[in-house]
Amino acid sequence: MKAFEITGKFGIAQVRARTVERAPLGAGQVRVRMRANSLNYRDLMMIEGQYNPRQPLPLVPLSDGAGEIVEVGPGVTERQVGDRVVGLFAQGWLDGDFNKDHQRHTLGGPLPGMLQEEAVLDQHGVFVPPAHLDDAQAATLPCAALTAYSALAVLGDVGPGQTVLCLGTGGVSMFALAFAKALGARVIVTSSADEKLERARALGADETINYKAEARWDKIARDMTDGVGVDHVVEVGGAGTINLSLSAVRPSGRVSLIGVLAGGDSQPNLTQALMKQVCVQGVFVGHRRGFAQMCQLIEAHQIVPQVSAHHPVDEVQDALGLMKRGGHFGKICLTW
Ligand SMILES: NC(=O)c1ccc[n+]([C@@H]2O[C@H](COP(=O)([O-])OP(=O)(O)OC[C@H]3O[C@@H](n4cnc5c(N)ncnc54)[C@H](OP(=O)(O)O)[C@@H]3O)[C@@H](O)[C@H]2O)c1
């Protein structure tokens, strides 16, 4: 069967297809015939050697994939041949607090990822996605969607009357927009591009700010909340944006620390965080129970993930290049 691997060294050009042996199924395992993958920024970092420079190679990359179960191993009781499933990012994290062991069992590094014709997963490491989603849309759920849901609804408590600030229009942020609206909140979205802000407004964003044109978007966000500050920031920028996020949030508000997109090496303003009694919450995707709750919300509101680019799987290098340029809105998907 066909599998893509990061071969001898890191880099987008090193992601290549090869033919590999089908692994036999062990107890409790299922074989998933891949139909679609989605890209995450983590995949790009993993492929370029920035996520974990000590990751042993070769590695099958990508955390997200959707497909159909074509074989079940001995002792499988939860799933059957023909089930349409997605793989869960943190394979062993069913519920409860996050620990080191969960971190060691994530798809697309350190475990083999989903950019392969068939993936072998534990029966508890797959989940049936909402029926109204096509394969590519379903493939967007395991990382970006669950991260946004965990931030807002598992670790956070977003609801009516609150204002959520989403940074940029990438995968995590566009799910945060959809979920925050479904939970009854008001949403502010920032972007470097006016046309992307227009798209965000069409999806329900109440207010938008171009962060390239408005370097002090934190002040504008505060003005949009009568000077109080937003209740929750979906912080995907990291060092380059954290101080503006801490400035934009209200006293006793919450900043979900998720990503590192903006680069930079500025020190977080700890005084501001403590004087405002801000809750700064790290988020590591999420657990299976959160995934199940998220699917209920997606179903109840018939939420459709935003996929702005579909590529055949053989164009994976082009798709990664598009992500690196930030040329997408929401998600980029690959189809088999
Ligand atoms: N902690 C976790 O569990 C977890 C899970 C998933 C992702 N992440 C991390 O979260 C981040 C987002 O991931 P993703 O997959 O959603 O990425 P993505 O889809 O590649 O997001 C790209 C978008 O981010 C926006 N962006 C870039 N620099 C920005 C800045 N300085 N300020 C505001 N927005 C900026 C841009 O939006 P515009 O084009 O609109 O400007 C860009 O198009 C990444 O760092 C990723 O590693 C973490």
What's the gap in Å between 31 CA and the centre of ligand 1? 31
Q: Has residue 251 got a pLDDT over 90?
A: yes
Instruction: Report the C-alpha gap between 182 and 205 in whole angstroms.
Output: 12
330 lines ligand 1 (CB under 6 A): no
CA separation, residue 201 to residues 7, 186, 189, 190, 208 (Å): 42, 12, 8, 11, 7
Give the pLDDT confidence score for residue 135 in this predicted structure. 98
Cα(46)–Cα(319) distance, rounded to whole angstroms? 15
The whole-angstrom separation of Cα 49 and Cα 51 is 6
pLDDT of residue 243: 97
Residue 193 beta carbon below 6 angstroms from any ligand 1 atom = yes
In angstroms, rounded to a whole number, what is the distance separating the alpha carbons of residues 106 and 194? 36
The architecture CATH gives domain 2-143+304-335: Alpha-Beta Complex (3.90)
Q: Which residues contact 65 (CB under 8 A, 6 or more apart)?
A: 32, 34, 36, 37, 38, 86, 87, 107, 113, 114, 115, 119, 139, 142
Reported as type and span, the H/E element at residue 322 is helix 316-325
Res 166: pLDDT:
98
> Is 145 near ligand 1, meaning CB less than 6 Å away?
no
SS3 of 67-116: the string is: EEEEEECCCCCCCCCCCEEEECCECCCCCCCCCHHHHCCEECCCECCCCE
- Distance between Cα 33 and ligand 1 center (Å): 29
* pLDDT of 134: 98
Ligand 1 pocket check for 209: Cβ under 6 Å: no
Cα of 237 to ligand 1 centre, how many Å? Answer: 7
For 33, the token pair is 């015939």
DSSP assigned state of 170: B
At residue 123 the predicted structure's pLDDT band, cuts being 50, 70 and 90, is: very high
165 CA distance to ligand 1 centroid (A)?
14
- Contact between 259 and 284 under an 8 Å Cβ cutoff? The reply is no
Read off the pLDDT of residues 308-334 as tens digits, 9 standing for 90 and up: 999 999 999 999 999 999 999 999 999
Over residues 46-69, mean pLDDT: 97
- For residue 49, the model assigns a pLDDT of 97
Give the residues across from 116 on adjacent strands: 3
- Per-residue pLDDT for 264 more than 90? no
From 62, 107, 172, 209, the mutation candidate for ligand 1 (largest count of ligand atoms within 8 A of CB) is 172
**Superfamily (CATH) of domain 156-282:** NAD(P)-binding Rossmann-like Domain (3.40.50.720)
Read off the pLDDT of each residue in 123-150 and give the average, rounded to a whole number.
Answer: 98
Tokens of 153: 């609804």
Contact 1, 298 (CB under 8 A): no
Phi, psi angles (nearest 5°) of residue 25: -85, 135
Atom index in ligand 1 nearest the CA of residue 39 equals 15
Task: Work out the percent of the chain whose per-residue pLDDT is above 70.
Answer: 100
Q: Which residues contact 268 (CB under 8 A, 6 or more apart)?
A: 239, 242, 243, 246
Rg (CA), the chain: 20
Q: What is the pTM of this model?
A: 0.98
The predicted structure's pLDDT at residue 258: 98
Which pLDDT band holds residue 236 (cuts at 50, 70, 90)?
very high
51 lines ligand 1 (CB under 6 A): no
* Ligand 1 atom having least distance to the Cα of 196: 40
Section 89-108 average pLDDT: 97
In the beta sheet, which residues pair with residue 17? 4
Query: Are 170 and 178 within 8 A, CB to CB?
Result: no
**Matching residue, tokens 């702005």:** 308
Q: What is the pLDDT of residue 265?
A: 84
In this prediction, residues 4-32 reach a mean pLDDT of 96
Across residues 99-119, what is the average pLDDT? 97
What is the pLDDT at residue 69?
98
Quote the mean pLDDT of the chain. Answer: 97
- Can you give the residue ranges of every domain in the chain? 2-143+304-335, 156-282
- Cα(172) to centroid(ligand 1), Å: 7
pLDDT tens column, 162-210:
999 999 999 999 999 999 999 999 999 999 999 999 999 999 999 999 9
Report residue 175: phi and psi, to 5°.
-70, -40
Q: Ligand 1 pocket check: which of 37, 39, 40 to mutate, most ligand atoms within 8 Å of Cβ?
A: 40
Q: What are phi and psi of 197, to 5 degrees?
A: -65, -35
Instruction: Kindly give the distance from the C-alpha atom of residue 169 to the centroid of ligand 1, in angstroms, as a whole number.
Output: 8
In the reported structure, the alpha carbon of residue 170 is separated from the centroid of ligand 1 by a whole-number distance in angstroms of 5
